[in-house]
């Protein structure tokens, strides 16, 4: 008979609301939620809070930090060992599910599944498809190119830069063949890519139509790096499941999100991380730093308007630099409440049940009987979002304590 463990005496956020109840786990499942529950083992959660395993819907586990110049001098295979550390750091923070938004390949995902390495449940996109001159194009004015390891094609990661309907179609099919769970595209330029502009629109309608059709034919969907207004709208008109970043949302873009029932993954941590890194002396290219500083206020304002309009929000960070000791993916929860009318409970929902819905993880994201037992015990009250990384006291993944 399987052992029954009860988490008792804490405040439980079940993915929707909070209450003072106990949670019973047996095997890999939550089996009971209520008061006065009995078990073979009891975890005393007095003065603590219990939440479902957390999601980060936008990570890059193959990347250590924003120092591209350093990364260009590293051996190609080092990224896999950095992923080993980064996946462990996600678990440290109670993040038991994540979507890697470019970089991790099928080998990384399978290594977790086969318990060769530890890490959260992982969905992968492999690469971010973009046009020539787009966010994945590492061409430099010198005629050379940046050698960012997470963007480089290899046998497990198809090339990212695609142009024209036939090449785009082949690109989607190659990414799916290589094991992607979902398709990521860039419908605008980005902050950290040289020579493009976040406000410019990338891929034409016929290319986006093919992306949507190929993803749907494979039973999956696509999500879009989209920062500029027109690129956001283009992605939504063609069925993007989520918009990542969304720096410049206007009324029409927000209305499209509502009508399409699409999610916004705001990644408020991303622009802040770039500016903070530059302030610490990391050699951020001047063009990228200027774009990040310019985007900061527009990003926060767009996010606030989306929240007020009722757009669905899922937590994602774009992975703040793992190597910096004060960085935490969980800072995103506080940033969301500071930038908008979201309450702490709304932020927890964005990191649990809403994120699970975005990633189609029906068995995760809430604390109810029958759900997988991904649980996080947090010291203190959930309405205090400060210093969350240092307040994690227990992390269970499928009923097994991993932290």
**87 plus 226 within the same structural domain:** yes
Query: Residue 323 pLDDT > 60, yes or no?
Result: no
**297 plus 216 within the same structural domain:** yes
pLDDT band at 179, cuts 50/70/90?
very high
CA distance 116 to 145: 34
**147 plus 238 within the same structural domain:** yes
CA distance 214 to 171: 10
CATH number at 371 reads: 2.30.40.10
Residue with the larger pLDDT of the pair 293 and 105: 105
Q: What region, left, alpha or beta, does residue 130 occupy, with left being phi > 0 and alpha being psi -120 to 50 degrees?
A: beta
Can you give the pLDDT at residue 142?
A: 67
Q: What is the pLDDT of residues 219-271, one digit of tens each?
A: 999 999 999 999 999 999 999 999 999 999 999 999 999 999 999 999 999 88
**70 plus 13 within the same structural domain:** no
**135 plus 274 within the same structural domain:** yes
Structural domains in the chain (count): 2
**151 plus 193 within the same structural domain:** yes
Mean pLDDT of 385-398: 96
Can you give the pLDDT at residue 135?
A: 86
**280 plus 382 within the same structural domain:** no
CATH number at 67 reads: 3.20.20.140
| Average pLDDT score, the chain | 93
Q: What is the pLDDT of residues 334-358, one digit of tens each?
A: 999 999 999 999 999 999 999 999 9
pLDDT band at 322, cuts 50/70/90?
low
Give me the domain span that covers residue 342.
Answer: 54-358
CA distance 107 to 111: 6
Query: Residue 165 pLDDT > 60, yes or no?
Result: yes
How many Cα neighbours within 13 Å face the side chain of 49?
A: 23
Which positions ≥6 away from 187 have C-beta within 8 Å? 201, 202, 203, 208, 224, 225, 226, 231, 232, 234, 235, 240
Q: What is the pLDDT of residues 23-77, one digit of tens each?
A: 999 999 999 999 999 999 999 999 999 999 999 999 999 988 777 777 778 898 9
**395 plus 295 within the same structural domain:** no
Q: What is the pLDDT of residues 11-38, one digit of tens each?
A: 999 999 999 999 999 999 999 999 999 9
**373 plus 344 within the same structural domain:** no
Can you give the pLDDT at residue 325?
A: 63
Query: Residue 164 pLDDT > 90, yes or no?
Result: yes
**353 plus 385 within the same structural domain:** no
**395 plus 303 within the same structural domain:** no
Of all residues in the chain, the percent with pLDDT exceeding 90 is 79
**102 plus 230 within the same structural domain:** yes
């Amino acid at each position: 008979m399987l052992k029954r463990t009860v988490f008792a005496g804490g405040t439980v956020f079940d993915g929707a609301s909070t209450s003072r109840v106990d949670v019973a786990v047996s095997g890999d499942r939550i089996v009971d939620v209520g008061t006065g529950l009995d078990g073979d083992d009891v975890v005393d959660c007095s003065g603590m809070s219990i939440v479902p395993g957390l999601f980060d819907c936008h990570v890059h586990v193959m990347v250590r930090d924003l120092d591209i110049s350093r990364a260009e001098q590293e051996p190609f295979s080092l990224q896999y060992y950095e992923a080993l550390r980064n996946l462990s750091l996600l678990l440290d923070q109670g993040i038991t599910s994540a979507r890697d938004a470019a970089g991790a390949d099928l080998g990384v995902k399978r290594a977790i599944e086969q318990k060769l390495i530890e890490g959260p449940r992982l969905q992968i996109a492999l690469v971010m498809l973009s046009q020539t001159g787009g966010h994945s194009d590492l061409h430099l004015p010198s005629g050379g190119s940046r050698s960012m390891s997470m963007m480089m094609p290899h046998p497990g990661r198809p090339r990212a830069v695609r142009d024209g309907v036939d090449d785009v179609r082949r690109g989607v099919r190659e990414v799916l063949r290589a094991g992607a769970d979902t398709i990521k595209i860039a419908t605008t330029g980005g902050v950290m890519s040289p020579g493009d502009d976040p406000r410019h629109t990338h891929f034409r309608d016929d290319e986006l139509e093919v992306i949507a059709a190929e993803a749907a034919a494979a039973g999956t969907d696509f999500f879009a790096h989209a920062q500029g207004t027109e690129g956001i709208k283009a992605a939504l008109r063609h069925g993007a499941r989520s918009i990542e970043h969304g720096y410049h949302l206007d009324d029409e873009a927000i209305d499209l999100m509502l009508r399409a029932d699409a999610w916004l993954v705001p990644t408020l941590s991303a622009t802040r991380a770039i500016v903070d890194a530059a302030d610490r002396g990391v050699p951020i290219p001047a063009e990228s730093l200027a774009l990040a500083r310019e985007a900061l206020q527009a990003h926060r304002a767009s996010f606030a308007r989306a929240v007020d309009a009722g757009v669905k929000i899922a937590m994602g960070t774009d992975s703040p630099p793992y190597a910096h000791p004060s960085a935490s993916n969980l800072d995103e929860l506080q940033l969301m409440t500071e930038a908008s009318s979201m309450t702490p409970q709304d932020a927890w929902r964005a990191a649990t049940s809403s994120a699970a819905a975005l990633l189609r993880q029906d068995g995760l994201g809430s604390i109810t009987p029958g759900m997988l037992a991904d649980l996080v015990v947090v010291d203190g009250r959930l309405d205090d979002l400060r210093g969350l990384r240092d307040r994690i006291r227990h992390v269970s993944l499928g009923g097994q304590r991993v932290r």
